[in-house]
Amino acid sequence: MAEPKYKRIVLKLSGEALAGEQGFGIEQDTVNSIAREIKEVHDAGVEVAIVVGGGNIWRGVAGSAKGMDRATADYMGMLATVINSLSLQDAMEKLNVVTRVLSAIELRQIAEPYIRRRAIRHLEKGRVVIFAGGTGSPYFSTDTTAALRAAEIEADVILMAKKVDGVYDSDPVKNPEAILYRDLSYIDVLNQRLGVMDSTATSLCMDNQIPIIVFNLNEKGNILKVVQGKEVGTYVGG
d(C-alpha 141, C-alpha 188), whole Å: 21
Residue 21 CB neighbour total at 10 angstroms: 7
Number of H helices, E strands in the chain: 9, 11
Q: Which residues of the chain have pLDDT under 50?
A: none
- What are the pLDDT digits (tens) for 4-57? 999 999 999 999 999 988 888 999 999 999 999 999 999 999 999 999 999 999
End-to-end CA distance of the chain: 29
- Classified as helix, coil or strand, 215 is strand
What amino acid occupies position 167?
V
CA-only gyration radius of the chain, Å: 17
The pLDDT value given to residue 30: 96
The pLDDT value given to residue 63: 82
d(C-alpha 59, C-alpha 105), whole Å: 17
d(C-alpha 149, C-alpha 131), whole Å: 8
What does each C-alpha distance from 17 to 5, 135, 205 come to in angstroms? 25, 20, 23
- Classified as helix, coil or strand, 168 is strand
Find the farthest-apart pair of alpha carbons in the chain and give their distance in angstroms, rounded.
52
Whether 19 and 56 have beta carbons less than 8 Å apart is answered as: yes
Q: Catalogue all structural domains in the chain, each as residue range(s) with its CATH number.
A: 8-237 (3.40.1160.10)
- Classified as helix, coil or strand, 189 is helix
d(C-alpha 180, C-alpha 170), whole Å: 9
- Classified as helix, coil or strand, 63 is helix
Whether 166 and 180 have beta carbons less than 8 Å apart is answered as: yes
